[in-house]
Every structure is written in C-alpha cells, then in structure tokens.
Amino acid sequence: METEIASISKELLQRSINAEKLRYCYGCGTCTASCPVAKVVPENFNPRGLLQKIFFDLNKTLTEDELWLCAWCYTCYERCPQELKTTEIFLLTRNLAVEKGYFPKQPTALIKLILRSGRTLEVTPARDRKRAALGLREIGETVSEKALREIKIITEKSSTWRVRE
Amino acid sequence: MENVGSVTVIGGGVAGIQAALELAKLGMLVYLVEEKPSIGGRIIELNCSSCQLEVPMDCSICPVIPKMVECHNHSNIRLLTKTHVTGFSGAVGNFVLSVLKQPRFVHEDRCTGCGACAEKCPVEVFDAFNMVQGKKKAIYFPVPQAFPQIPVIDKENCVHFRNGNCKKCSEVCPTHAIDFSDEDMKIGIESDAVVLATGLSLYDPAAIREYGYKRYKNVITILDLEQMTSIHGLTGGRVVRISDQKKPRRIAFIQCVGSRSRRTGNNFCSGVCCLYTAKDAALVKMLLPETEVYVFYIDLRVFGKGYQELLNKVRNDLGVKYIRGRPGGIWEDPKTKDLIISYENTLIRRAEKLRVDMVVLSPALLPHPSNQKLAEILGLEVDEDGFFKSPNPVASPCDTTLEGVFTCGYCRGPRGIAESATQASAAAARVAETIALTKSRRVKR
Amino acid sequence: MNLEYSLFPGCVPSAREFSCEVSARKVFEALDVELHDVGDFTCCMPACLVHSFDYVTGLALTSRNFCVADEFNRDILTLCVSCYGNLSRAKKLMSENGDLRRRVDELLAAVGKSYGGKASVKHSVTVLYEDIGIESLKKNVTKTLKGIRAAPFYGCHLIRPREYLSFDDPAFPVKLDELIKVTGATSVMHRERAGCCIGCGSFFGEVAEEAALRLSVDILDSAREAEADCVIVTCPYCFLQIEMGQLLFKRRTGELYNLPVLHYTDLLGLSLGIEPKELGMDLHKIDPTPLLERIK
Amino acid sequence: MREDNPNQVPRIGVFVCECGANIGNVVNIPEVVENAKKLPGVSFVERDVSLCSSAGVKHVKDAISKNGVDRVVFAACSIKNYGSLLEAACEAAGVNKYLISFANIREQCAWAHYGSPKGATRKAINLVGMAVARVQKSEPLKDLELEVEPSTLIIGGGISGMTAALCLANQGFRVFLVEKEPELGGMLNKLYKLYLTNQSVSEVLSPIIEGVTSHRNIKLFTSASLKEVEGHFGDFEITVSANGGIEKFRVGTIILATGAKVFEPSGMYGYGDKEGIVTQLELEQILKQEKLKRPGKVAMIQCVGARGEEGVPYCSRICCMVAVKNATLIKRLYPDCEVYIIYRDLQTYGKENEEYHAKARELGIRFIEYTPENRPEIIPNGNGKLRVRVYHALLGETLNVDSDLVVLSTPLIQHKGGEEISKMLKVPLGSDGFFREAYMEMQSVALGVNGIYVCGAAQGPKSIDESITQAYAAAAQAASPMLLKRVKIPAITAEVDEERCIGCQLCMDVCPFHAVIFEEGKSMIIEAVCRGCGNCAAGCPSRAISMKGFKDEQILAEVQAAFKGE
C-alpha cells in the first residue's frame, strides 16, 4: 500500500506525557518480539510497525483496527531500550481516534454498558440468585444508585467525553 | 641523550602502552602508572586463538605483547604496576603527582616468573578473569601473558595473611623473591605533562533481566567467549556450552546489550561491537564449520577501514546469518538448557522464535569507573557518562579542560584498538609540542 | 492477626467467575482477614477500554473509586489482577502528574469529591505474600499438597510495569512460586509463566477472540510441556481465558487439554484443609476432581 | 664471508625456554635438549624457565661469555614477542644479532598441538634442527645507520597537513608544506559548518592557517606541485615546482596529507540532468552562500555509490553524520521544513555522534531505512516536485516524499593527485584506493616505506577530529627519528654479484621501492632504500642477486634439515 507522508502529530506530542520519546525509536523490534498478540496474530498486529505508523502518518493510523489490538500487557513497555511508553502511546492515540469520531464496535458497546450498569459485565437476576445460592451478597443489575449517578454526572460534566447512551 | 621532559601516563592498556613508547621515543622520561599487577589492559584478557587456527587472523594480543616487552625494557620508561594516583598539584611544565604503589609481596627484580610458587600454593579461589576457567591460586599470574611476568599474592585469600602458618610459596621459590613484609609505598612524581589512558569497563548484562545472563548458563558475554576461545582457557580454546560442555550446533550473538539505550542510561554506541562480533562469529565458524551462527543487530556499524569488506566475507563466504532485530527475551528450556530467543525480523516485520545452544551478548563498554575520582583529583571535567571532556571535540580531540593533561583511548569516548593507538601517538605529539612551547615561553620571560 | 480491607469486587469475580470470590472469601476468613463490602465501588474503568476513549474522564471515573475507599480507613483489596494494575496505574498518574490531577479533580468536584489517594491498592496475592507472609501461611497449612505439579501463571498486571507495580521481577517473577511451595505442591518452570492471556486487555472482535484462543492454547502447551497437573492463576480473567480456551479448543478440534485451572486461593485453601466445594471448585468447568483425588 | 675465513668452525649455543608451563607442559623439554646436543656445531644446550625474565636474560649473557660461542639458537616463543630483547642480550655478549636463529616452539608447537604432546615435541626437535642448520650458514651483518635531516616535507595543506606542520614546527623542526591549490585549507574550504560543534569552518581553520603562514619554521609552497623525490629515509632530495620556479631542498621525513575527493554520482538518481538534485558537498556550498530557498521537504539519500556494486564497496564513514548535520542545519534554518534521511545502517558510531543523532531526532528529522534490494527512486511528479519513492523496510510501506531538494550522500574516494604521489614515492595504495598503512591495529600512520607517514583522508575517510588526531600521530612518529638525528634500518638487503650481472635491468622493473640503479651496465642496490623484499633476487635470470640473511645456501640448509630422515 502507499501513503503520503503527513507531518508528525503535534497533537499527540502535546497531549502525551511521553510521546516525544517516540522520536528515539530506532525500530529495533524489542516490542514486537515481546508482544503476546503479535505472537499469535502477527498478520493483524505489530506494535513496532504501529508505533512507526503513528510517528509517520498518525491520521491514517486513527482509523485502523490494529490500534485497538494492544492488550496493555506492558511487556514492551517494560523492555523498550529507549523507554518509549508504548502502551500509554497506544491509549493516547485511541483517544485521538475517538475524537475524530471513530468508535470501534465492541468497545463502544461495553462503554455504554458501563454507563448503564457501572460494570463491564451484565448481572441478570438469574445470575444474582446464583450468587445468593453460593452464599455471596446479591449485587443487583447495577452498582449503587449513588455510584451510577456519579458516573453519569462526571461523564456529562466532561467536555471531552464523547460516548452517550 | 638526556630527557627533554618527563610525562606520567595513567593506565597501562593499549593506549597507555603506545603513548608511553611514543613519548619515550620522543626523548621523554615516562612514568607508566597501572593499577593492575600487569600492563596490557583489557586486551590481554582477549583471546589468543589465531595460533591454533590455520587461517590468517590476528589474535587480539599478538600485536601488543612486543609493545609490552618494548615498554618494559625501554630505558626511558618507569613501570609502576599496582599503583594509582592519590594526589595532584602544579601546572603544565611542573605537575606533581603523588601515587600509591600497593604491595605485590614478590620482589620484581628477583622473581624469574617460573611459577613454582603458584603450583605449590594450597589455596584455590574463583578467578574473576575467567568465568569459563573458574579457579586461580592465592599467588597467581594476573593473566596468562602477564607483564611483568611476575606473580602477585592475593592477600584476602592467602593463608599466610589469614593465620600466618603457611610459607609454601616462599619455601619453594628458588630466588627467595617472596616478601610477606612488602607494604604500601607512597611515591611523588614530577611531570611536565600527563596522559590519561584509563580505558573501559564492562556493563553487567545481568541487569537486562529478560536475557537471563547469570541465570542461564549458556548465555555468556563476548568476553567470556574470547576467554573460552583463548588457548589459555579451561577448554583450551574449544567452544562449548557451559551447561554440558557439548559442542554448540547453533550460536546467536546479540548486539547493543545495554548500549544505545535510555533505559540503561548508556545512550551511546560502544563503537566496536559490530566489528569484533563479526570477527568472533568468523572465529566460531572456523572452529566449528557446521555450526550455525546468527547475529542480531540494530544498525551495522561498518564505518572503519576494511569493516564492510570483513562483513561481506563473514556474511557471504562464511555464511553467518545477520538478522535486523533486538531480541525481546530469552527462555531457557529447563530440560535441554537450550535457549529460545523471541525476536522480530524487522526487515520482514515478523515475530519469530529461534532455538539455539548458546547466546553471546555484546555488553555496552563503559568508561572506567575510576574516571570520576581521577577527574576530582586532577580537577578535570567528565561528562554525564564519565568520559573525559575536551574543550573542543573537533579542533582539539586529545586535549582536556586542563592544559598539559591529554587523553587517549576509550576514556575520551568509545573507540577501537586502532583508533586508541593512533590517538595515543597523537597525545604524545601534543605533549611534545606543549612542552616545547612552555619551555620557549619560559625562555622568553 | 486482624487485617481488614475494603474488598474491591471487580466485574469478573462478581458478575461472571463466582468461584474466584467464593474461594478468596473462604481463604481470608480462615486466615481471619476481614473483607468489607463497600457499597459505592464501581468497575475499575480499565485504561485499555475506558481511558482509551477519554484519558482524563476515564481517570476521573477510576479515581472516583479511591474517593469512595478513602471514606473508610482501610486499604483496597482486589481479586482481579486487572483491577489491581489499573487502580495502581491511576494512583501513580494522579500522584505524579499535577496537570492530570487538576483536570481530574475538576470533574470529581461535580460529585463533591476530590482525589485523596490515602488507601493503597493490594491484590489478594500481594496481601498473602506481603501483609500475611510466607512464614505465617506455613503455620496455617494443615494438609500438604505434595505431588501436585502446579504451573504458576502470574498475570500481567501483578508484575508489569515495574514502574508502579513493585511486587515482583517482571522478567522472572518468583513469589507466586514461593506461595505455591507453601502448600507443599511443586511449582514447575514453564515458558509462559509471566505471559499474557489478553483476557482483560482486548475487546476487539473476532481477531481478539482468535488471539485469545491461540494464547490460551499456547499457555496450556507451555504448562503441559512442563508436565504440570494444573495451572495456578491470580486473576479471574486469566482463569476465564484458560478454562474457556480449553472448551473452545475442544469445540474446534475435538481435543481436550483437560488441565484444571485453579485460583491460587483454591490451592492455598485446600492446604488449609478447606473442602473443594466450599472453595467453589465445583463451579470450575474443567473438573479438578481427578486432581483432588490424588491429594485425598 | 665465511669463504674469507674457511677455517672458522661455528660454535653454537642453544637455549630452550619452558615459558613457565606454557611450553614445558606440552613439549618434552629434556628430549628437545638431548636431541639438540647431538646436532653438529652445537657446543652447549641450556634450558631456562623463562628467557624473557630479567634472570633469563642474565643467564643468556653469562652462558654465552662462559662458553665463548659465536652463534645462538633460541627455542622459545615467536620472534615477534621477545626477539628484540634476546637479540639485545646476545649483542651485549658479543654475538652479532644476525648470527641468531629462532625456533618457535610455543605458538607453533606447544599451542598449535596442545592436544598431542608427542607430535609437538617431534616438531620442536625438528624446528631446532632447522634453526641450527640455518645459523651455521649465517653471516654477521651490520645494520645500516642513516643520518636523519631534522626537517620534514608535508604534502597537502588541508587540516591534516597543517596540523602536522604546526605541531612539528612548534617542536623546532623545519617544515616544508606543499599545497597544490592557491590557498590552504583543502576540503574544509568547501564546507559550511562542522559537526559535532556546528561551528563555522573558519572558526577552526583561520587560527591554524594563521599559525602555519606566520611560523618561522614553516616554508610554505602554494599552487605548487611535487616534481621529484630522490634519496631515502633521513635524506630525501625534493624537487618542487612553485610560483613559476623550481625549488630543491632536502628533508629527513615525509608526511602525506593529500586528502581525498568526493565521489561524483553522475547518472545516479538522475543527478546531473534533473534540477534540485545535489551532493552533500554542493549542499554545503548552497548553505554557505545562503542560497537555500525555504523548501517544503528535503530528502537525503545515503550510501549513493558506497557499500555496494555501484561506486565503491566500502563504507565512507562520515556521510551519515554529514547528512545528520546538514539536516539539522536546514531544520534550524527552516523549522517547518520536513527533512528525511533515507539510510541503510546509520553510522552514528560512538558517543558524540550518537548524541548528535538523538538531537536531530528531537528536532523532528525523519529517518527512513531502505535495503539494498529496494533502493529509493526518483520518479516524475506533476507538481514540479521531486518525488522520492522509497520502500520503508521497517514500516513495510512505500512512502512518497515530494521534495524540493534531494541530497545525495556520496563517499570519499582517492583522487588522481594521490595516485601520482603513490607512484612517485613508491608507497602502496590499498584495494580501496587509499594509502595502505603498515599495520592497521597499531600502526595506522606508518607506511611500508621508511621515513614516510600518512594522515587524514589520504589513509581513508575520516571526520575532522579524526583527521586532526591522525595528523598529530604522524607528527609524533616523524619526530622521533628527526629528534635522534639518526635511524637504524635492518641489514636484510639485496646485493648484486657484478661478475654475474648481465645488465638486463629486470630487477629495476620488479623493485617496488626504486632501490635499484643502473651504472656502467650493471645493477646496483641502494641499501638505504632497499626493503629486502627479495623481488629482484627472485627475478634475476642470472642469479646475480642474493639477499643478505636469506641466501640460497642458508635457506636450503634449513630445508634439508627439515626433511632429514623423513
């Protein structure tokens, strides 16, 4: 594939606490060599390649699924000889993607679930009864009213938050 | 002829030796100060292997031994081993250095270097020189080709110094050279100029935990390999796996271990690893032709005269496989002690695994730790890494921030043997020039 | 001893993998450690998901849980390594980055809160190792699990990144091994011990699911190569992945690894003389009974 | 000479060294000693634990004077190691050092065959036999001692030449500096600013030019050329043509600082026929004359004509840093201009270079790695830009850099002037075209020919600081013989038997050092120039030439001994 070279994203640099270290990346591949995802689905994910794409053509990267495949295991973050804050850079880049209006399906659905219930997993009455049967406290379909309300308020207060129900 | 000046050279490695000789030939009286019991520096720790190979390949120490001899016998050179600098005063043309010579407990003028003492010595201790070789005696030759060829007593481990009831070495010594009463000696040296040649030290790759150095037996450093391939090593120059002494079928070299890294704080490139790795990869190939050899690198630094040509030979003729990629980690198979390397071949962007019998790391080469202290004593500037600073790295490469004090070799920044030797000659020239100018200045006044 | 913690429920333990909570509660009860339920905790708002959408707001939502915790004078105990890592990360960012903290506090102000960060974050395993300690655990062991070959699976956020998770050596952790040895079982060396199951980190459709499956198979192979009888996990997410992995793999290939997966608290519980059923081990989808037979 | 006094019977002393355990543990020393005793002419054999120790040296002296021998054989380590030490010992005891022979029983026996002591011992006995046979036929020779004129000729007025000149002049030596151009400075005159300090050339150049031109010990010839070099180490006769006239003078030593030139990439990447494609050297000019118009994008391509089939095979060492430096300067000048360095392996070796490189990355300069299989190409592009299409190996994508300026980094190569000098002085060039040093590891400034030294780019591509360093090194090595005013050169030279010489002059053709002259129909060897290579002796059809110290009979004696009994 071919790309025009875009100018490096000042956005990313300004926003990130660590992204400027991206410039020190000499592409040694320590990250990819350490990456569990790259190990099993190499054709879909290559952190080194992704970092270089972010560096060379941020805008193009924003719409790429690859961006959402980092499993934040922090192995590359731990080993990078140049101390690139890889995992954090990926998170920040996802922020930019969302700002540009790119909402990946599953994650967005999960976010909505959180806004609804305060959890990433649903608790049906049936499951709650199962808890009871095991002698565990019933927790209801959502977290406490108060907690749920606070989540709502915080997300509504935030000017940058984009996912609405 | 009478001496035109006197100079103190600090450090007896390749650079120091070359500088001392050059200065001596320029009619200077030279004090060569070396903290170890033998001159020769790091290079005499390296392999002496070409002799056992049918191929023309200079082993690391052959070019240096004649220089060491010349150094030792030159009427203009005073050799001070086991000595370090403790004080410094004065200015160019009349510096005064105070040095401390630590006891060797062996009379340098009586000893014939026959080694009978070491044979009789009952103590065996671990030998830092050689992880592969392991042991040494409490009276020992610092390195197989030590110069002066005189043993030294290791006070910590010598039975005599522990409880006084062993004199085996002195009893067996034919020339009565052993002297337990030997002690520290303070010496003052007057010098017109000083040349620093403190050399380098090795980064400990154990700090890069995922490579498992010191945890996995078959992960060794290039220095370990040099000593293993040395005729003097325990294996007599055979390349074997430490774990089972078996001949390795696959060896991988890893470059830039701890260098070019913000994580370790050593942002610099050591400047020599790409070359010596090519050389040792070739050596392994020639010792074990059927063994597969891999080299993991980031940038191949082939800037030196003849490097590219050597690399082509190693790659194309000897079939050493080069892979652009820095491995992420190494896992040791607990049963076989084989090593599984995870790496990305970055040129085809593919994460892969490679099972090898042995891994050889090229650790970062750091400036010698003594630089900091030396800089304080002499009132010089060192940079954040501990290299001596030059007032202008372009125009005056061997000068320091103090007139009359010069540098050569690794202590000024990463460089190889050839450049160190050249810079040593250069430092000598600067000394001669500076002394000439200061004298004429004096005359004018 | 009278240790008390605010239990951070976490989504997986409370909504999906009940065995984890059951087992943990039982073990801590036996060691008379008190776990207090706190009404207003929510999901930890994992960075890989929530912060990915909005760094600052996500951080505010995570920090909100600290404000809740600070109402009680107790440390937080998580059952899930993912919660542990995520909360620890938030704590670090809040304490180090004034700008972030200011922006987060602005949001928290809207709900009358501000970040205090008094409570520190712990995980059941770090509590067992650090707060209780190997020695006193040994004292409580009544039944040795000799002969069991257990393959430890540490879980990413228990050890990485070292920058703010100082529990163990990320490259070569050993503390879970020590904890396993306490029970009399053997902890076996295997290549994936410090690996990743991507369970908590990836929400991205088919590719992620495929990756997760392949990874759990890799982890299972790693354990099997080392002749392990079971895999010991510290996190319900890892538990889920490695159990489900076996079932999915069976569906795909017909082959069943049949390698029981145990929460560390299961293993410890057994050695404390607690019955498997009480530890909720009957909920496991890979039946541990044959394994348990051997230690009867 | 032995013919002159045939009744002299050689008395040979043999010393066998154990080298501590080094030899003793493998080679059976007593066996070697016993066998040596049986050899003809041997008057005594003595063993020593370590001949190179001070005690060993004393032992040698005493034994020689006690037994009054006139020839000595050392069975020890390589002559390369302690040869000089033991020779000195023998001379002190009155034995001519050319009547000594070495048998290397350490490297060649104990070490090479550490696995099989028996074989090692047999070989040692054999080597000693050969050495004894040889030394019987040896003749006493005297090293040639030459007077050395305390003055030097420096060819090339660039930074290297001037540095060496000033250094030697300051030490009180007379210096003749010859520069072909009208002004001093060489390559630096063509440059703008220098890495690592980014200081302008003049800052470095001016003070040193000032020093050279004003120094009373320096005789300067500009717009000058070297016409002829006669004579030898210590006494070279130099002819220079300068400012219309011819100048002749004598010097003791010569330093070559002839520099190098930049490879012209004609036809590569459309250089020459497309606008906006320049070499780094041309870019330096453009920057110097402040002619660089604000470019949108600049692309620099590395290794153009280097490290490959096209151009030269070697890596030119400095191009990467030059590119990084010029990229930095452009970025400083026009911060929003995008600068791309398209490289193979980045040669920012060492500390200061690597630091400079990191700074460049901080400035936002982009690095693109290509592989030799996928070289970048420049393809036509509508909007009047030069589209550099390059496959970024690490990114796995083809990138298009639509550049206003493309800069080609080309290697340094030897120039005609250098080649002529090499012919005139009979100093060898290496396969890379640069002057070949005697021995890379320890002798990077000495050449194969006595009294001639090299420094700077003439010996190979170098940065400014490296050239300056080497210039000082050359100064040091040239200074010591001039300081002593005399030098010894080995007596191993060729000699002509006039009776046999048929005057075919073949020897003159094969002599690489100009050591043979032809007078009255006969060849004659100038000993001071002869390096004892033996070409002439081998080439001589009438076997009129023999090599002192390596006469046929001496070598044959050795060979016969080698095969005796086999």
Q: Please list every residue in chain B whose beta carbon sits closer than 8 Å to the beta carbon of residue D358.
A: 267
Q: Residue B62's domain is classified under what CATH number?
A: 3.50.50.60
**Residue A13 pLDDT more than 50?**
no
How many domains does one find in chain B?
3
Does residue A151 sit in the same domain as residue A116? yes
Determine which of B254, B323, B326 to mutate to test the interface with A (most A C-beta atoms within 10 Å): B326
Determine the Cα–Cα distance for residues B256 and D566; give it in Å rounded to an integer: 54
Q: Please list every residue in chain A whose beta carbon sits closer than 8 Å to the beta carbon of residue D367.
A: 26
> Given the DSSP bridges, would you call strands B292-297 and B250-257 parallel, antiparallel or unpaired?
parallel
Does residue A146 sit in the same domain as residue A95? no
Q: Is residue B109 part of a domain?
A: no
Determine the Cα–Cα distance for residues C253 and C246; give it in Å rounded to an integer: 10
Does domain D1-140 correspond to CATH entry 1.10.287?
no
| pLDDT tens digits, one per residue of D333-371 | 999 999 999 999 999 999 999 999 999 998 989 999 999
Identify the band that residue D426 occupies on the pLDDT scale cut at 50, 70 and 90.
Answer: confident
| pLDDT tens digits, one per residue of D167-212 | 999 999 999 999 999 999 999 999 999 999 999 999 999 999 999 9
Does residue A93 sit in the same domain as residue A115? no
Determine the Cα–Cα distance for residues C272 and C171; give it in Å rounded to an integer: 31
- Is A30 an interface residue toward B (CB < 8 Å)? yes
Query: Is chain D in touch with chain C: ≥3 Cβ pairs within 8 A?
Result: no
Query: Is chain D in touch with chain A: ≥3 Cβ pairs within 8 A?
Result: yes
Does residue A18 sit in the same domain as residue A94? yes
pLDDT in tens, chain B (445 residues): 578 899 999 999 999 999 999 999 999 999 999 999 999 998 877 766 544 444 445 566 667 878 888 898 899 999 999 999 999 999 999 999 999 999 999 998 888 877 889 889 999 887 654 444 457 889 998 876 778 888 999 999 999 999 988 999 999 999 999 999 999 999 999 999 999 999 999 999 999 999 999 999 999 999 989 888 876 666 767 899 999 999 999 999 999 999 999 999 999 999 999 999 998 998 899 889 999 999 999 999 999 888 899 899 999 999 999 999 999 999 999 999 999 999 999 999 999 999 999 999 999 999 999 999 999 999 999 999 999 999 999 999 999 999 999 999 999 999 998 899 999 999 999 999 999 999 988 887 7
CA distance B327 to chain D (A): 16
Instruction: Provide CB contacts within 8 A for C11, sequence distance 6+.
Output: A119, A120, A121, C43, C80
Residue B5 bridge partners (DSSP): B28
Give, for D344, the enclosing helix (H) or strand (E): none
User: Looking at residue D2, what is its pLDDT?
Assistant: 37
Question: Considering CB atoms only, which of A32, A79, A81 is closest to B344?
Answer: A32
For residue B98 the two structure tokens come to 């105070």
**Residue A10 pLDDT more than 90?**
no
Same fold, D151-260+414-487 and D263-411: yes
Inter-chain CB proximity A2 and D366 less than 8 Å: no
Write down the mean pLDDT value for chain C: 95
Average pLDDT over residues C147-163: 96
Bond before C173 cis per omega within 30 degrees: no
User: Alpha-carbon dihedral of residues C11, C13, C17, C19, nearest 10 degrees?
Assistant: -170
CA distance A105 to chain B (A): 28
Q: Give the chain B residue nearest D456 (alpha carbons).
A: B422
Give, for B436, the enclosing helix (H) or strand (E): helix B417-444
Determine the Cα–Cα distance for residues A67 and A71; give it in Å rounded to an integer: 10
For residue C5 the two structure tokens come to 């913690």
Determine the Cα–Cα distance for residues A67 and A90; give it in Å rounded to an integer: 7
- Is B340 an interface residue toward C (CB < 8 Å)? yes
Determine the Cα–Cα distance for residues D90 and A136; give it in Å rounded to an integer: 99
- Choose among D426, D543, D548: nearest CA to D495: D548
Interface predicted TM-score of the whole assembly (ipTM), two decimals: 0.92
User: Looking at residue D131, what is its pLDDT?
Assistant: 97
Average pLDDT over residues C131-157: 97
Q: Is residue B50 part of a domain?
A: yes
Does residue B236 sit in the same domain as residue B320? yes
Q: Where in chain C is the domain with CATH 1.20.1050.140?
A: 3-123
Determine the Cα–Cα distance for residues C10 and D58; give it in Å rounded to an integer: 86
| pLDDT tens digits, one per residue of D491-523 | 999 999 999 999 999 999 999 888 999 999 999
| pLDDT tens digits, one per residue of D145-175 | 999 999 999 999 999 999 999 999 999 999 9
Q: Please list every residue in chain B whose beta carbon sits closer than 8 Å to the beta carbon of residue A82.
A: 261-263
More confident residue, C195 or B228: C195
Query: Is chain C in touch with chain A: ≥3 Cβ pairs within 8 A?
Result: yes
Q: How far is CA D269 from CA D32, D285, D397, D402, D408, in A?
A: 69, 20, 21, 15, 8
Question: Given B364, B389, B408, which residue is the final one in a domain?
Answer: B364
Determine the Cα–Cα distance for residues D295 and D278; give it in Å rounded to an integer: 14
Q: Is residue B179 part of a domain?
A: no
**Residue for token pair 């046999």:** D500
**D526 CB-side CA count, 13 A:** 18
What is the amino acid identity at position B212?
A: G
Determine the Cα–Cα distance for residues B427 and C92; give it in Å rounded to an integer: 51
Task: Give the SS3 label for residue D434.
Answer: coil
Bond before C108 cis per omega within 30 degrees: no
Does domain C134-295 correspond to CATH entry 3.40.50.300?
no
Phi/psi at B32 (5° precision): -100, 110
Does domain D151-260+414-487 correspond to CATH entry 3.10.20.70?
no
SS3 per residue for D510-554: HCCCCCEEEECCEEEECCCCCCCCCHHHHHCCCCCEEECCCCHHH
Phi/psi at B110 (5° precision): -90, -35
Q: Is residue B107 part of a domain?
A: no
For residue D50 the two structure tokens come to 């370590």
- Choose among D262, D38, D231, D263: nearest CA to D148: D231
Question: Given B364, B390, B418, which residue is the final one in a domain?
Answer: B364
Chains that touch D (3 or more CB pairs under 8 A): A, B
Q: Is residue B400 part of a domain?
A: yes
- Cβ distance B20 to B9 under 8 Å? yes
Does residue A112 sit in the same domain as residue A92? no
For residue D319 the two structure tokens come to 């191009």
For residue A60 the two structure tokens come to 């193009």
Inter-chain CB proximity D350 and B413 less than 8 Å: yes
More confident residue, A50 or B135: A50
Q: Is residue A139 part of a domain?
A: yes
How many domains does one find in chain A?
2
Q: Is the dihedral of CA A37, A43, A49, A54 positive or negative?
A: negative
Instruction: Provide CB contacts within 8 A for D118, sequence distance 6+.
Output: none
Q: Is residue A162 part of a domain?
A: no
SS3 per residue for D404-419: CEEEECCCEECCHHHH
DSSP state of C47: I
Q: Please list every residue in chain A whose beta carbon sits closer than 8 Å to the beta carbon of residue D366.
A: 5, 8, 56
**Residue A55 pLDDT more than 90?**
no
Q: Please list every residue in chain B whose beta carbon sits closer than 8 Å to the beta carbon of residue D446.
A: none
Determine the Cα–Cα distance for residues C114 and D168; give it in Å rounded to an integer: 75
Instruction: Provide CB contacts within 8 A for B322, sequence distance 6+.
Output: B294, B295, B297, B300, B315
Q: pTM for the whole thing?
A: 0.92
Q: Give the chain A residue nearest D403 (alpha carbons).
A: A5
User: Looking at residue B128, what is its pLDDT?
Assistant: 52
User: Looking at residue B149, what is its pLDDT?
Assistant: 81
Does residue A83 sit in the same domain as residue A147? no
Does residue B94 sit in the same domain as residue B130? no
CA distance D282 to chain B (A): 22
Q: Which of residues 160-179 of C touch B (CB under 8 A)?
A: 169-172
Determine the Cα–Cα distance for residues D224 and D246; give it in Å rounded to an integer: 10
What is the amino acid identity at position D405?
A: L
Instruction: Provide CB contacts within 8 A for B442, sequence distance 6+.
Output: B93
**Residue for token pair 């005609």:** D416
Q: Where in chain C is the domain with CATH 3.40.50.11810?
A: 134-295
Determine the Cα–Cα distance for residues D502 and D19; give it in Å rounded to an integer: 50
CA distance B332 to chain C (A): 8
Q: How far is CA B292 from CA A106, B250, B312, C169, in A?
A: 47, 5, 17, 33
Question: Considering CB atoms only, which of D358, D362, D401 is closest to A5?
Answer: D401
Domain assignment of residue A148, given as a range: 105-157
For D84-116, give the DSSP string. Answer: HHHHHHHHHTT--GGGEEEEE-IIIIIITTTT-
Determine the Cα–Cα distance for residues B149 and B72; give it in Å rounded to an integer: 11
**Residue for token pair 């090194």:** D473
Angle, CA of A18, A21 and A27, to the nearest 5° = 135
- Choose among D480, D479, D425, D457: nearest CA to D217: D479
Q: Please list every residue in chain A whose beta carbon sits closer than 8 Å to the beta carbon of residue B263.
A: 80-83
Inter-chain CB proximity B334 and C189 less than 8 Å: yes
Q: Give the chain B residue nearest C222 (alpha carbons).
A: B333
CA distance A29 to chain B (A): 5
Q: Please list every residue in chain C whose beta carbon sits closer than 8 Å to the beta carbon of residue B212.
A: 172
Burial (CB < 10 A; 0-12, 13-18, 19+), residue C212, is: buried
Q: Residue A69's domain is classified under what CATH number?
A: 1.10.1060.10
- Cβ distance B92 to B438 under 8 Å? yes
Q: Give the chain A residue nearest D339 (alpha carbons).
A: A7
Domain assignment of residue B342, given as a range: 203-364
Does residue B287 sit in the same domain as residue B160? no
User: Looking at residue C246, what is its pLDDT?
Assistant: 97
Determine which of D255, D440, D442, D464 to mutate to test the interface with B (most B C-beta atoms within 10 Å): D442
User: Alpha-carbon dihedral of residues B377, B381, B384, B385, nearest 10 degrees?
Assistant: -70
- Cβ distance A13 to A24 under 8 Å? no
Inter-chain CB proximity D394 and A8 less than 8 Å: no
User: Looking at residue A113, what is its pLDDT?
Assistant: 96
Q: Which CATH class is domain C3-123?
A: mainly alpha
Does residue A59 sit in the same domain as residue A95? yes
Number of CB atoms found within 10 A of residue C36's CB: 11
**Residue A15 pLDDT more than 80?**
no
- Is A23 an interface residue toward B (CB < 8 Å)? no
For D490-548, CATH number out of 3.10.129.10, 3.30.70.20, 3.30.2310.20, 3.90.1150.10 equals 3.30.70.20
Number of CB atoms found within 10 A of residue D144's CB: 16
Question: Considering CB atoms only, which of B262, B329, B345 is closest to A34?
Answer: B329
What is the percent of chain D with per-residue pLDDT over 70, rounded to a whole number? 98
| pLDDT tens digits, one per residue of D116-144 | 899 999 999 999 999 999 999 999 999 99
Does residue A58 sit in the same domain as residue A115? no
User: Looking at residue D314, what is its pLDDT?
Assistant: 96
**Residue A2 pLDDT more than 70?**
no
User: Looking at residue B146, what is its pLDDT?
Assistant: 77
- Is C210 an interface residue toward B (CB < 8 Å)? no
Task: Give the SS3 label for residue B329.
Answer: strand
- Is D398 an interface residue toward A (CB < 8 Å)? yes
For D263-411, CATH number out of 3.40.1160.10, 3.40.50.150, 3.20.20.150, 3.50.50.60 equals 3.50.50.60
Instruction: Provide CB contacts within 8 A for A101, sequence distance 6+.
Output: A162
Q: Please list every residue in chain D whose beta carbon sits closer than 8 Å to the beta carbon of residue A5.
A: 338, 340, 366, 399-401
**Residue for token pair 């090229």:** B362
Q: Is residue B396 part of a domain?
A: yes
Q: Which residues of B touch A (CB under 8 A)?
A: 210, 256, 260-264, 298-299, 324-329, 342-346, 349-351
Q: Is residue B191 part of a domain?
A: yes
Identify the band that residue D380 occupies on the pLDDT scale cut at 50, 70 and 90.
Answer: confident
**Residue C205 pLDDT more than 60?**
yes
What is the amino acid identity at position B2?
A: E
For residue C149 the two structure tokens come to 């070959």
